Amino acid sequence: MRSPSRRISATALASLLWLGAGLQEGSDDAQPPPIVFSPPRALDGALERVAVDDLACAACHVAIADEWSRSLHAYAFEDPVYQKEIRRKRRRASCLGCHVPVPLHAPAEGATPRARPAPREDTSEDPHRFGVSCSSCHLGAQGKILGPFGAPTDAHVSERHPSFVGTGSNALCLACHSTTIGPVIGIGKDFEQAGRSERCIDCHMQPLERPLATSPASEAGGPSPPARAGRSHFLQGPRDPAFLAQAFVVEEVRHADGELLVRIGNRAGHRVPGLTLRTLELRLEGGEEGPASRRRIDHEAWLPVGGSFVLRTRGTDRARLVGHHTAPGAPAPVRFLDLELR
């Protein structure tokens, strides 16, 4: 069997090479290809999936609950990296809001999602260990469930709400992702200022078509609810090497005065990275190595949205572009990029 990291390099490679060909000087209208999605998987390293046995919504929304249980949203409280950081804080309460939020759309009727949400109480229906829970995003006033369709069901009142339709979901993501606090950089602000046409979910939640739920009738062998176009609640994030590689595009490879120059751009919807705890290093291997052939990217030397940088090396007409990622809490750097250039 091929290891996941090998499969990953292949998709990343295709994306980078396409861009190398597509973003030549003067072709302003060249668009990067859509983000490639990897299948949901258990979180890496120390991170395990969150148990959903006592999640009420999981009784019917089996597939969605399974996807969510592998995301950092489900893990926002139990995450050992988070737990370690908050133990060091004197005012721990200021760190709870977005990690164990109250429902963002309740109680005010029709309200836009509340930004910088307050922490919810630790209850048996919605315990802190569910982190950013289903209710945080979907529960409206008077127990209504808000979503993209307003589909009739006996299970609960469903209402179509702007936060789940068209570009409305950006406001939902921005509610928690625009604040700089602790190790977190409010990258949502970059996204807004850049006026991006893609939505957050276009890059982070895979489109899928399937029934949203099982129903008592379908459990008993009767007809299932209809298949509908939706999105995976498994979040693509930088811990996935294949996804992280897609943050970078090779914009130009040039030979001049015995040097090989490679220009690398940022194709994410915001600056890279979004955490003070994350470090990336990109370097050219194969020629003379030195300060000009490598670049460290972190919260002090970050790559702005739409920004780029040049790596150079001498003594070769071909080189490998190699990237390593040191994730928060990770024991060692992980190679996420390995691309042959000439």
Site for ligand HEC in 231-290 (CB under 6 A): 231, 233, 235, 237-239, 244, 246-247, 268-270, 272-275, 278
Could you tell me which stretch among 5-13, 15-23, 224-232, 281-289 binds ligand HEC (CB under 6 A)? 224-232
Whether 310 and 231 have beta carbons less than 8 Å apart is answered as no
**Near ligand HEC by CB under 6 A: residue from 36, 155, 194, 292:** 155
Binding mask 173-212 for ligand HEC (x = CB under 6 A): xxxxx-x-xxxx---x--x----x-x-xxxxx-------x
The 3-state DSSP class for residue 202 equals helix
The CA distance from 12 to 252, in Å, is 17
Counting contacts by CB under 6 A, is residue 82 touching ligand HEC?
yes
Which residues in the 12-31 window bind ligand HEC by CB under 6 A?
A: none
Q: Which is nearer to ligand HEC, 23 or 64 (CB)?
A: 64
Please provide the distance, in angstroms rounded to a whole number, between the alpha carbons at the two ends of the chain. 30
Short-list 119, 166, 157, CA closest to 139? 157
Q: What is the token pair recorded at 13?
A: 């490679």
Q: Please report the DSSP string for 234-297 in residue order.
A: SPP-TTSHHHHHTTEEEEEEEEETTEEEEEEEE-SSS-B-SBTT-EEEEEEESS--SGGGEEEE
Nearer to ligand HEC by Cβ, of 235 and 262: the residue is 235
Per CB under 6 A, the list member of 9, 15, 16, 99 interacting with ligand HEC is 99
CB of 55 to ligand HEC, least distance (A): 6
Nearer to ligand HEC, 198 or 338 (CB): 198
Joined together, the tokens standing for residue 242 give: 């294949």
Q: Which residues of 188-226 are buried (b: 16+ CB within 10 A; e: fewer)?
A: bbbbeeeebeebbbbbbbbebeebbbebeeeeeeeeebe
- DSSP reduced 3-state for 188: helix
* Closest separation in Å from C-beta 23 to ligand HEC: 14
Please give the size of the binding site for ligand HEC, defined by CB under 6 A: 93
Binding mask 100-139 for ligand HEC (x = CB under 6 A): -x--x-----------xx--------------x-xxxxx-
